[in-house]
Structure 1
Amino acid sequence: MSKIPRALLALSLSLAAALVAAPPAEAATRFTPGAPGGGDPYFPDMGNGGYDVAHYDVELKYDPATKAIDATTKIQAVATQNLSRFNLDFLGPLQISAVTVNGRPAEYARTGAQELEITPPWGLWRGAPFQVSVSYAGVPQTVDDDALGISGWIPTSDGGLMLNQPFGAATVYPVNDSPKDKATYTFSITAPEGLTSLANGEPAGTRTKDGWTTARWRMRQPMASELSVIAIGKFTVTDGVTPGGVRNITAIDTALDTASGQDADFQNRTGAVTDWLAATYGRYPFGSTGGIVDDAHVSYALETQGRPVYDRYGRPGRNPSDGLLAHELGHQWFGDSVTPARWSDIWLNEGFATYTEWLYTEHAGGATAQASFDEAYATDAGDDLWKGKVADPGRDHIFDGLVYDRGAMTVHMIRKTIGDDKFFRLVKLWPTINKYGNASTEDFTRFVKRFGDAAQLDALFTKWLYTEGKPAL
């Protein structure tokens, strides 16, 4: 045992005395609660303040017989203020059995619309890393929003599927459910032997014991929670490589894989589109590409990170079209790697993804991007397409045509204004410079003005992004 220097011992004792002598009220003011919302005006309950998440480890066991899960989610985070307590988003009927912070039991309460309020046994200093563990069980909620559709946990004929845009993640695991707080992920999914479990990222091994199979997946690049996915069921899985060298993992529900060669067709076309996009937008941003085709009954496809999901409900013999593949895979650059700072900025996702469809259609010998623009612009001025502002569509309109088609028309007008050479430099530089980050409409318009006359582009943005109605050409 080494001796403590007298000067250090004296300093330690004086500090201890000062802390003991400090009035309780003064000590309490050192720590304050984190905000129970992330500050997005469209979804004020989503997200939380006071910390930044680095990693989620979601361990989940699913029983198709009861549709229930038994799960533990561990979260590694860093405090961004001196925290007396903090919130996670957790929505629905799942029952919590234990909460710990840094391995010690913590007090918790379910409050508000979707808040899990956690009080650690001691305050968390700003800049300090900490770990939260939440254990819970039950049947997760499926959210059916009149304006925004179905999300959350969706039971399927042979398993379950998690689709989270805009707020489904909180129905399956406790989360800081804000696009601004990206994190890496590990998934450990256990299901009865004979079922396949899929998630974002790359496989990290499977283990079968006592009739249950656990599959692990790792997403090593930062991901917004609304882009996470879990799929459990009977799938035909193909693990290959695109001609350009990107790992390509595709899966089709076996009940939908009704024609010979559908699995190879899906993977080959996914690879071809991915490689074309990499040539157009720059290096593919994640460890693998691919996709999941399932019978989800949601009537949409979703750009879940690295592995988009395509609902084939009612279309058992049809794989996604090339245009749909281009749209969802185009999101991997625009929306997934570079994610909007606010939900009002979602045209940066959907406008670019729709324009990617136009570009790929032209590349494949179909209509030119100009012809696609002309067709969209020909829509009658009284149509709903021209109602609202592209850069601020409103909470209930983030998936409306003005975001997709008018967003794509805005991208095309930028191209026409600055010219093809500058435009195709722009669409490579933007996702490269902002890789794995967040960006707003204002960030984008400032960036575009580097490539052309600022006054001319300001007029374009005013007319196409910030003004309601059909713009004059």
Structure 2
Amino acid sequence: MAPLDGNGGYTLRHCDLAFDWRAPGTPFPATATLRAAATQALSRFDLDFAGNTLRTVTVDGAPARAVRDGDELVVTPARPIARGRTFTVRVAYTADPTQRRHRDDAIQDYGWVPTADGTLLSPQPDGAKMIFPADDHPSVRAPFTFRVTAPPGLTAVAGGRLVERRRLPGGRIRWTYDSEHPVAAQLVQLAIGKYSVVTGTGPRGLPVRDVVPDGLVADTEAYRSLTPAHLAWLEQRLGPYPFGRYGVLVGDTDLPVALETQSLSVVPSSDLLGSRVDAERNLVHELAHHWTGDSVAIRRWSDLWLSEGHARYYERLYADAHGGPGLEEAMRDAYARHDRWRHDDGAPAEPTAASLFRQMRYDGSALVLYALREEVGEDAFARIERSWVTRYRGRAAGTADFVRLASGVAGRDLAPFLDRWLYGAHTPPMPGHPDWRVDPVAED
């Protein structure tokens, strides 16, 4: 990703977003109040911030100088900030809910996603800065408070817990949500529109909250109702669900892909109106991310294989047991294509910015986990997986951490084996499958 994504010199402690929503496609007043702790003496600091119209910036209540430099907002406070000191920066701006960018990979369009009567968010990988001033790096997480004021007749939702719904003078409604857990900027969700909120319970009484366009509640109920079973299936393999609630936000719009926005995954309505096998694959994929990607965050974008590879592996494993394509069949097909993906998109742990969300990070990375399972055996692999999501729960971890943990659990050094799979120019032999062949790739 771009070298300026994320910022140094401070640790983000809390982010409070206040949106005064007006109408679809209409700019509206917004403020972001960020509390941070300086990790070094700061005469200035940066925030990731793209587009929108900047109005004022203050630091600890005093006006600050703010200069835009591409997608960076460079803030110079009235007085330098000492190392170790906590400070508060407040950015007032006019948000533009039409802002989107495009990638030529699985993400496609990202940023604000307009709907017929409102909006929802698809900020991955670095689109949060189009929505609010952020420390937009996948390893950086902080608690969020969302305060959304909207016209009567609309519902505002966000990841986490509804704290308050208050009618203001004039009839507008202010909705306040608490994220409950620290969340990365790329996994924030906030939606406004004509929604029904459908509640239920999952394993051990876990609150389940689906947010559905009013006209799609009945049509999507059959697949949405499978969430408790999906939770139970994943908990058998990865341990307790790591957040306080879960649910699906149904996106009835041109949303190109589903996204694991924390505690409220957004799923295109088309994914819930087709075949059961396809619907469950997508639902299980986004839910699995809540263990690997949301709870265990990646340290850097080159570690994305750990997030997408795990989600695709469990998606494939679930489909294998529930009437979908067989896991071995899918992995053999991925094995045949692996050299082509390495050639075009980089090895699993060596993506380029352009190839980040291409097939190598999905089936290509699930294949690495399948190879590890074949190498160490199913029992040892299951222990590795459970240990991974347990040891790094609520933390960021990377490829070196995974290799070290896997080696410790397996009782032998797996670095030589995994390094060939993760970084090699060519696909290694698949353990236990000497008959598997890689399709040849003609040199450019």
Alignment size in residue pairs = 426
Pair 1:191-2:150 in alignment: yes
Deviates more, 1:387-396 or 1:402-411: 387-396
SS of the equivalent of 2:354 reads helix
Residue 217 of structure 1: which of 159, 177, 181 is its match?
A: 177
Counting only pairs closer than 5 Å after superposition, residues 15-414 of structure 1 correspond to structure 2 as 42-64=1-23, 67-92=26-51, 94-111=52-69, 113-140=70-97, 141-147=99-105, 148-209=107-168, 210-257=170-217, 259=219, 262-263=220-221, 265-312=222-269, 321-364=279-322, 366-379=324-337, 382=340, 388-414=346-372
Q: In 1, Cα distance between the equivalents of 2:338 and 2:357?
A: 20
1:429 corresponds to which letter in structure 2? S
* Structure 2 counterpart SS, 1:244: helix
* Largest Rg, 1 or 2: 1
In structure 2, how many angstroms separate the alpha carbons of the residues matched to 1:222 and 1:76?
Answer: 13
Return the offset for 1:439.
1.0
1:249 CA drift (Å): 0.7
User: Structure 2 vs 1, CA of residues 452 and 231 (structure 1 numbering), >3 Å: closer, same or farther?
Assistant: same
SS at match of 1:451: helix
Output the amino acid matched with 2:355.
H
How far apart in 1 are the matches of 2:344 and 2:332? 15
SS of corresponding position for 1:158: coil
The residue type paired with residue 135 of structure 2 is N
CA distance in 2 between counterparts of 1:448 and 1:152 reads 36
The 1:157–1:405 alpha-carbon spacing in structure 2 relative to 1, beyond 3 Å, is same
Equivalent pair of 1:58/1:186 in contact (CA under 8 Å): yes
CA distance in 1, matches of 2:100, 2:323: 41
| CA distance in 2 between partners of 1:345 and 1:287 (Å) | 26
Structure 1 unmatched runs, 5+? 1-41
Identify if the C-alpha distance between structure 1 residues 191 and 454 changes in structure 2 by more than 3 Å, giving closer, same or farther.
same
* C-alpha spacing 1:352/1:65, structure 2 compared with 1 (3 Å): closer
Q: Distance in 2 between matches of 1:406 and 1:84?
A: 45
* Distance of 1:442 and 1:298 partners within structure 2: 34
Task: Kindly provide the amino acid, as one letter, of the partner of residue 177 in structure 1.
Answer: D
- TM-aligned CA distance change 1:386 to 1:105, over 3 Å: closer
TM-score, normalised via structure 1 length: 0.85
AA matched with 2:428: P
| Distance in 2 (alpha carbons) for counterparts of 1:247 and 1:218 | 15
CA distance in 1, matches of 2:380, 2:274: 42
TM-aligned CA deviation for residue 314 of structure 1: 9.1
Q: Does 1:462 align with 2:419?
A: yes
Q: Relative to structure 1, is the Cα distance of residues 43 and 454 closer, same or farther in structure 2, using a 3 angstrom cutoff? A: farther
Structure 1 Cα separation of the partners of residues 192 and 398 of structure 2: 35
Helix, strand or coil: the match of 1:395? coil
Unaligned residue ranges in structure 2 (runs of 5+):
431-444
